[in-house]
């Protein structure tokens, strides 16, 4: 009888203990291992941005678990060798105003990083673009006189402003005279250095005697940092060196950490 009573009491106590406890099952937890989608819309490479301007860096980033203030932006003036912060932990609103640095570069890049709440991140760098001073406008009024059937006398009008829409007063440091013997008059790879001058006229001697046609191009330049002087001195000092306009620009780029 006592054994039966003891068993009954134990059952009652255990039943009361279970009645005081409960459990439940949580919803499935998804572990996000996918990096956010990221693309750079501007700059995309090849742009010419000017010192003193403010340009918009544009991007598109998406992810189901993006968090606020999840975007970091940097820029490089050396093809990505070194990066400098533009904005850290900023909103993913797809745009960031950027005041151009005061240092020229023909190999600038922008890098963007975006992260989600699971620690996944994506990082992307733009292709190279240039940051330079606003250049002079293109010379106008180009005329070529071959009336003596021997020489080509080239004249043009003085450049006094920068390119539109800036139109600020500027005095070029000089003019580069280039020539082309082929009909590819708009291709910089086919326009070759002839001379550099501070005047508004140049005589290409005896060319009319030996050529049925010639194309000329005048480029006004402003040598803000002295690099152009070195390139032009090399071109003028070596009569065998045939530099195209594209190669002149290329050599300027090389003095700034590589070719864009």
Are the CB atoms for 244 and 190 separated by under 8 Å? yes
Question: What's the whole-number mean pLDDT along residues 122-151?
Answer: 94
pLDDT single digits (tens) 67-89: 889 999 999 999 999 999 999 99
**Burial zone of 11 (CB within 10 Å; 0-12 exposed, 13-18 middle, 19+ buried):** exposed
pLDDT level of residue 24 (50, 70, 90 thresholds)? low
Q: Give 143-254's CATH code, choosing from 1.10.3470, 2.40.128, 2.60.40, 2.60.120.
A: 2.60.40
Q: What is the pTM of this model?
A: 0.75
Architecture of domain 37-132: Sandwich (2.60)
Residue predicted with more confidence, 244 or 212 = 244
The backbone region for 80, taken as left when phi is positive above 0, alpha when psi lies in -120 to 50, beta otherwise, is: left
Q: Round the average pLDDT of the chain to a whole number and report it.
A: 86
pLDDT for 251 beyond 70:
yes
Portion of the chain with pLDDT greater than 70, in percent? 86
| CATH 2.60.40.10 residue spans of the chain | 37-132
Residue predicted with more confidence, 183 or 242 = 242
- What is the DSSP annotation of 5-65? HHHHHHHHHHHHHHHT-----PPPPP---PPPEEEEEE--SS-EEETT-EEEEEEEEE-TT
CA-CA distance, 236 to 164, in Å (whole number)?
31
């Amino acid at each position: 009888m006592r054994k039966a009573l003891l068993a009954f009491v134990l059952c009652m106590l255990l039943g009361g203990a279970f009645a005081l406890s409960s459990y439940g099952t949580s919803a499935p937890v998804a572990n996000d291992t996918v990096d956010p989608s990221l693309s750079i819309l501007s700059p995309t490479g090849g742009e010419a941005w000017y010192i003193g301007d403010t340009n918009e860096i544009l991007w598109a980033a998406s992810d189901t678990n993006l968090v606020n203030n999840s975007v970091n932006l940097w820029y490089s003036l050396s093809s990505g060798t070194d990066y400098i912060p533009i904005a850290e932990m900023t909103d993913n609103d797809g745009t960031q105003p950027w005041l151009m640095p005061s240092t020229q570069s023909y190999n600038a890049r922008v890098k963007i990083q975006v992260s989600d709440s699971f620690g996944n991140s994506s990082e992307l760098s733009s292709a190279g673009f240039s940051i330079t001073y606003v250049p002079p406008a293109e010379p106008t009024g180009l005329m070529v006189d071959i009336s003596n059937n021997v020489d080509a006398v080239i004249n043009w009008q003085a450049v006094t402003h920068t390119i539109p829409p800036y139109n600020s007063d500027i005095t070029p440091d000089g003019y580069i005279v280039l020539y082309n013997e082929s009909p590819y008059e708009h291709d910089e790879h086919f326009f070759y250095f002839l001379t550099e001058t501070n005047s508004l006229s140049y005589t290409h001697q005896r060319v009319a005697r030996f050529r049925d046609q010639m194309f000329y191009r005048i480029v006004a330049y402003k040598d803000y940092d002295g690099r152009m002087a070195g390139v032009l001195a090399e071109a003028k000092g070596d009569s065998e060196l045939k530099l195209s306009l594209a190669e002149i620009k290329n050599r300027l780029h090389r003095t700034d950490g590589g070719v864009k």
